[in-house]
Structures are given as structure tokens and as C-alpha cells.
Amino acid sequence: MKKPASLRAAIEAAVPELATDKDRLLAFIDNGSIVCTSVESRSFEWRYTMNLIITDYAGDPNQLWLALLDWVKVNQFPLLASPSLQEQIRFEVDILADDKVDLDIKLPLTENVVVARDDQGNETPSAVDEPLPAWMI
């Protein structure tokens, strides 16, 4: 799985205080499943809900959302492009004080794994990067 670390890095880059205090950005994978639809290939897809919990956040929430949406635009574009998925980025907020909140952000992610076979029949699984959206090509 590549996306959890990639998303974490994007958020830490946008909110440097989370990079210096890593215990305030918690990442969990919930409701995971593996989908393999082809009998001839052993390639498969990870499907899971990425759950990010940011504690004691006092920054501008819009900066956080911009970082998340920029990451989604490149790494999970269907969440923005497909009307049936557009409301799947969910969040809850616990208000701790006038200037601090805990945020719980959930978004569905997928990651494809292609299994290649060499001439000797050895199989090697490799995570595949998302195809670039048409607007980025």
C-alpha cells in the first residue's frame, strides 16, 4: 500500500506542525477488502477506507482541505470526477476549545496490484500508480 504514506506526506507538507509532532496525525485503514475479478490473472485491487485523525488542530481547516483535495485530484481522481463518489470524503469534528478541534477524515481509496509472470513462471506483484487524469496529460 502506497497511498496512506503518500497522503500523510501531503498533509504534513501543507501543515508543517503535523510533521514535527507526528502523534497528532493518526492514520488507520478500515473496511479493507481485496478484489480479484480475473480468473487468468492474479492481479487484484485493494479497497479500503483511509481514516485520518488529526488531534488538537488549531490551524486553518481550509489549508488542510486544499492539501487533501490536491492529493485526491492526483491519486484518487474518481472521488472528484464521479457524481456518485463526490460525497464520499467524510469528516467529523470534535470541538475542544474555541481554537482547537480534533478532525476525523474518512475517504475510500483503491490501489491496483499487477502480478507479472516471467519466463520461468515466477510471479512478482507490483503496486501500480494511478493513471493521470486526462487534464494532467
The continuous run of DSSP H or E covering 67 comes out as helix 61-75
Q: What is the pLDDT of residue 121?
A: 81
- pTM attached to this predicted model: 0.85
Q: What is the pLDDT of residue 136?
A: 58
Q: What is the pLDDT of residue 26?
A: 97
Q: pLDDT per residue over 77-112, tens digit each?
A: 999 998 898 899 999 999 998 899 999 999 999 999
**Per-residue pLDDT tens listing for the chain (137 residues):** 899 999 999 999 999 999 999 999 999 999 999 998 766 778 899 999 999 999 999 999 999 999 999 999 999 999 999 889 889 999 999 999 889 999 999 999 999 988 888 888 888 777 777 766 665 55
Q: What is the pLDDT of residue 20?
A: 95
Helix axes 61-75 and 3-14, enclosed angle (nearest 10): 150
Pairing of strands 44-57, 25-35: antiparallel
Report all structural domains of the chain as residue ranges with CATH numbers, in order of start: 3-120 (3.30.2000)
